């Protein structure tokens, strides 16, 4: 994205607040004019007061200068207040737009994006942008206007002397522009490396249990230190660049003062110009000292904002591979029929993980998906709520292609328990009610009881108000899954997806959950990825997948009678479960869990 286009796009964030912008920039312009007036007042004080030995003229000039200072202070307040207000308000809107764009991007984007880098863009890059977009831009414009005003005032006072004194100014401007062009790409490298550093930290902290379990703290520190050292070297390069230019900028201002005194002093002594005029011109040159130094800072801030904003807009401009059609219609009065018509799908071009998938799930049926790891089970269920789009074929819900439905209405009828349940850092009740935040405590408890979560929840001192740690770290795997199941049940969807959702619970707990689900699945189409026999025996249809294709389909008894993949998996993994259920686990164990359920 071209630099001017980035700045123009940033400026659009100020448009809704035009009144505050007008007040801020009007105050800035007024302050600049008052600053340009001060040397002229000093000129009058010297010529009409000191030179003429007129004390009253000095007092009048002093009073005027004091009054100007008061007015300038009031105007400066408005400039600073509204300038800062615009900075933070624009950053607020930009951060919201960035987060909204991030939430709207498809699973395919998040599969490849690094969370740490996204966090760096949402915080560090937007912070760098906010430093410039409001007060920084205003100060840059103020500096440019002040420099133009100083040059104009000096030329009007004495053309020859002004031209001599301003000889270093073109060099200053060229040096500043060159500095900005050099610092911009280096700023981008610094921000990119900060994203890498954030990713390294995020991954290490997220996997801190694994790090400690394998005693890999030294390795993680070495990796972080390596990335941090790269960031420091890049930042050090920026500091060196700034350090090399700053003294040169200051030297050019001092050179202007030297030229003024060397050529202007004799002119004042000979009477060609007044002492007051020479004093005013020196004041103007000194007035350039601050802006010249700020100009380097502001150019650096502008370059950094450019680099940071480009990283933010890069995410906001990422095309969404799963987007709503303009004519998409809502899913109304859903029945829960799901049909796959010759569906093929791949996460990468040319590498399909599903090939020519065809099946029909009638409303209220339970469809079990099973097969080896990597067979495509999760990929099938990810296509139903349209987390991804197939590369060929169609997925239909109630006879309508899911691409023709609005995403909210489609996903509003699908409840999902993912293979790796995620809980937020909130109370247990808030996690269960995440899909229905208006649910009553009684409804939350009813869903928890159905998922066999109520007993362990009330065993906590704060019950349903118990706050879980980050990602539910304070709960066991089985507890997290039961809360996730309760969350899906409370959502009351027409289509229920359980992605291996009972894999982390023991056989007795699974039995109780299955009993509850038998009632709750009534009138609901359910897709289950499972390796447990209880799930498979109650399924209306079992789809056996291998290498992305459906190689067998049917009910448990029929598939068991065939000499195929299902029978092989049964002999290797499921026969022990059936023997357990047929023995103590199936009768006395089943009676025990029924007593637990009724207690």
Cβ–Cβ < 8 Å for 135, 87: yes
Q: In this structure, are residues 531 and 503 in contact, taking their beta carbons and an 8 Å threshold?
A: yes
pLDDT value at residue 55:
75
Nearest to 20 by CA among 161, 158, 133: 133
**Low-confidence residues of the chain: pLDDT under 70:** 1-2, 49-54, 180, 184, 206, 209-210, 212-214, 290, 292-293, 296-297, 419, 469-473, 500-521, 532-534, 573-574, 576-599
Q: Which residue has the tokens 């049940």?
A: 489
Q: How many helices (H) and strands (E) does the chain have?
A: 25, 10
> Measured between alpha carbons, how far is 149 from 200 in angstroms, rounded to an integer?
50
Q: What is the pLDDT of residue 373?
A: 83
Neighbours of 588 (CB within 10 A): 10
pLDDT at 590: 46
The DSSP call for residue 427 is B
Put the strands of the sheet holding 525-529 in their side by side order.
414-417, 495-499, 525-529, 366-370, 541-546, 549-554
> So what's the pLDDT on residue 589?
44
- pLDDT for 581: 58
To the nearest 10 degrees (0 to 180), the angle between helices 275-316 and 18-44 is 160
The token pair at 471 is: 């990602």
| Distance from C-alpha of 241 to C-alpha of 119, rounded to nearest angstrom | 28
pLDDT for 595 equals 45
**Whether the Cβ atoms of residue 428 and residue 415 lie closer than 8 Å to each other:** no
Q: Enter the DSSP assignment of 14.
A: G
- How far CA 361 is from CA of 252, 389, 561, 592, in Å, comes to 80, 19, 23, 35
Please tell me the predicted confidence (pLDDT) of residue 341.
94
pLDDT confidence of residue 464: 92
pLDDT at residue number 293: 64
The CA-atom distances, in angstroms, between 330 and each of 127, 326, 410, 458 are: 39, 12, 7, 39
Which pLDDT score is estimated for 358?
95
CA distance 98 to 81: 26
- Strand order across the beta sheet in which 400-401 lies: 351-361, 338-348, 392-397, 400-401
**What is the per-residue pLDDT for 516?**
57
Range 433-446 burial, b when 16+ CB lie within 10 A, else e: bbbeeebeeebbbb
Residue whose structure tokens are 């979560």: 453
502 neighbors 510 (Cβ within 8 angstroms):
yes
Q: What is the predicted pLDDT for the residue at 29? A: 92
Interval 507-528: pLDDT, tens: 666 665 666 566 566 778 989 8
How far apart (Å, rounded) are the C-alpha atoms in residues 472 and 220? 24
How many C-beta neighbours within 10 Å does residue 77 have?
12
């Amino acid at each position: 994205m071209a630099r001017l286009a980035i700045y123009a796009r940033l400026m659009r964030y100020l448009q809704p607040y035009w009144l505050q912008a007008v007040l801020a920039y009007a105050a800035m312009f007024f302050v600049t004019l008052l600053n340009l007036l001060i040397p002229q007042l000093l000129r009058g004080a010297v010529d009409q007061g000191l030179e003429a030995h007129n004390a009253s003229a000095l007092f009048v000039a002093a009073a005027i200068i004091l009054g100007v200072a008061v007015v300038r202070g009031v105007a400066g307040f408005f400039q600073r207040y509204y300038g800062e207000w615009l900075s933070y308000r624009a950053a607020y809107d930009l951060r919201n737009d960035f987060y909204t764009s991030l939430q709207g991007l498809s699973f395919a984007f998040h599969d490849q994006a690094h969370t740490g880098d996204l966090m760096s863009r949402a915080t560090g890059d937007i912070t760098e942008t906010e430093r410039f977009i409001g007060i920084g831009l205003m100060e840059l414009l103020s500096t440019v206007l002040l420099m133009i005003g100083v040059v104009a005032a000096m030329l009007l006072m004495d053309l020859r002397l002004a031209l001599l004194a301003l000889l270093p100014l073109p060099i200053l401007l060229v040096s500043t522009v060159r500095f900005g062009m050099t610092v911009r790409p280096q700023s981008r490298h610094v921000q990119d490396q900060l994203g890498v550093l954030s990713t390294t930290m995020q991954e290490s902290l997220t996997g801190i249990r694994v790090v400690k379990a394998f005693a890999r703290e030294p390795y993680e520190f070495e990796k972080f230190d390596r990335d941090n050292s790269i960031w420091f070297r890049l930042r050090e390069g920026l500091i060196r660049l700034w350090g090399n230019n700053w003294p040169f900028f200051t030297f050019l201002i001092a050179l202007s003062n030297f030229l003024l005194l060397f050529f202007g002093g004799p002119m004042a002594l000979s009477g060609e110009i007044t002492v007051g005029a020479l004093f005013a011109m020196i004041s103007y040159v000194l007035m350039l000292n601050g802006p010249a130094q700020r100009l380097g800072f502001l150019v650096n801030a502008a370059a950094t904002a450019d680099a940071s904003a480009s990283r933010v807009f890069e995410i906001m401009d990422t095309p969404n591979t799963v987007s709503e059609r303009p004519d998409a219609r809502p899913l109304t009065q859903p029945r829960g029929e799901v049909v796959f018509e010759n569906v093929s799908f791949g996460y990468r071009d040319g590498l399909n993980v599903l090939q020519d998938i065809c099946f029909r799930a009638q409303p209220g049926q339970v469809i079990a998906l099973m097969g080896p790891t990597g067979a495509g089970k999760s990929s099938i269920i990810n296509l139903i709520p349209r987390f991804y789009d197939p590369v060929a074929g169609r997925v239909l819900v109630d006879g309508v292609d899911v691409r023709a439905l609005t995403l909210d209405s489609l996903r509003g009828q699908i409840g999902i328990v993912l293979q790796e349940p995620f809980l937020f850092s909130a109370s247990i009740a808030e996690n269960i009610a995440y899909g229905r935040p208006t649910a009553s405590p009684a409804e939350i408890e009813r869903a928890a009881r159905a998922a066999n979560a109520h007993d362990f929840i009330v065993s906590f001192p704060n019950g349903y108000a118990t706050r879980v740690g980050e990602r539910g770290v304070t709960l066991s795997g089985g507890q997290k899954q039961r809360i996730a199941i309760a969350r899906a049940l409370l959502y009351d969807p027409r289509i229920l997806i359980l992605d291996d959702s009972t894999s982390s619970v023991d056989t007795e707990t699974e039995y109780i959950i299955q009993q509850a689900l038998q009632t709750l699945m009534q009138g609901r189409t359910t897709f289950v990825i499972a390796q447990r026999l209880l799930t498979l025996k109650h399924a209306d249809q079992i789809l056996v997948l291998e290498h992305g294709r459906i190689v067998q389909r049917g009910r448990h008894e029929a598939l068991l009678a065939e000499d195929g993949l299902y029978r092989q998996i049964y002999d290797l993994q499921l026969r022990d479960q059936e023997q357990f259920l047929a023995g103590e686990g199936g009768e006395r164990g089943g009676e025990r869990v029924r007593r637990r359920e009724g207690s």
